């Protein structure tokens, strides 16, 4: 079974927050093809934007989403990265799309301040979120019910996982590979990436 991983991208998205998970799942697919050449690929990864127009991530990296809200298709795993999210929180269609996409997903994950987008979409509620590398006083003040855990790299509540920022998004993505496709593939992927994970 091939699962589709949809990674939401937006202006001022943090590069490592979306690129880390993207690399993990695409690398897992390459490694999976070597481990089981006759099996279907474990993952198909797509970046999805509000529109398909050019975006600028933090530090100016240009991104063209592979799909938009209307053409994203079915998603099995939704990943919402962090970054500067104030503008995204103020877009009702973004929040509605995240909520609607999540209803049909096997797993939903956030990285860093992406947790606030999940909260705005009604997905995290009272769940504790993992810490972020950078404080976000504005969103944090707006969501007092989202309790930030200072000692945990990510938290999981069944189908929802919230991770801290930076390399923690890579750790969490390897954890998701393990959950979805087995520990052997997750460990082989980490080795292929030369990434210390266990």
Burial class (CB in 10 A: 0-12, 13-18, 19+), 170: buried
Contact 160, 137 (CB under 8 A): no
How confident is the model over 171-188, as a mean pLDDT? Answer: 96
Residue 197 binned pLDDT confidence (cut-offs 50, 70, 90): confident
Which CA distances in Å does 95 have to 153, 162, 168?
25, 17, 24
pLDDT at 133: 47
pLDDT at 167: 87
pLDDT at 79: 98
pLDDT at 135: 45
Tell me the backbone φ, ψ of residue 38, rounded to 5 degrees.
-95, -5
Query: Which of 21-25, 154-158, 177-181 bottoms out in mean pLDDT, i.e. has the lowest?
Result: 154-158
pLDDT at 137: 47
Return the closest-CA partner of residue 73 out of 107, 38, 44, 113.
44
CA angle 57, 63, 66 (to 5 degrees): 135
Tokens standing for 83?
A: 């970054």
Residue 92 reports pLDDT greater than 70: yes
pLDDT tens digits along 119-151: 999 998 655 554 454 444 455 555 555 555 544
pLDDT tens digits along 67-85: 999 998 999 999 999 999 9
């Amino acid at each position: 079974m091939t699962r589709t991983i949809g990674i939401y991208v937006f202006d001022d998205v943090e590069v490592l927050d979306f690129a880390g998970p993207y690399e993990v799942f695409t690398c897992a697919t390459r490694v999976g093809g070597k481990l089981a050449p006759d099996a279907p690929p474990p993952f198909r990864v797509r970046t999805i934007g509000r529109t398909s127009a050019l975006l600028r991530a933090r530090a100016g990296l240009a991104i063209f989403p592979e799909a938009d809200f209307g053409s994203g298709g079915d998603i099995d795993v939704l990943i919402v990265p962090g970054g500067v999210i104030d503008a995204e929180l103020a877009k009702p269609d973004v929040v509605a799309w995240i909520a609607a996409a999540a209803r049909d997903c096997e797993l939903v994950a956030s990285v860093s301040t992406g947790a606030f987008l999940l909260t705005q979409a009604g997905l995290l509620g009272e769940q504790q979120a993992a810490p972020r590398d950078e404080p976000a006083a504005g969103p944090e003040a707006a969501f007092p019910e989202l309790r930030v855990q200072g000692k945990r790299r990510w938290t999981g509540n069944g189908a929802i996982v919230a991770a801290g920022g930076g390399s923690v998004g890579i750790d969490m993505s390897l954890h998701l590979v393990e959950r979805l496709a087995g520990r052997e593939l997750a460990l082989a992927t980490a080795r292929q990436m030369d990434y210390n994970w266990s």
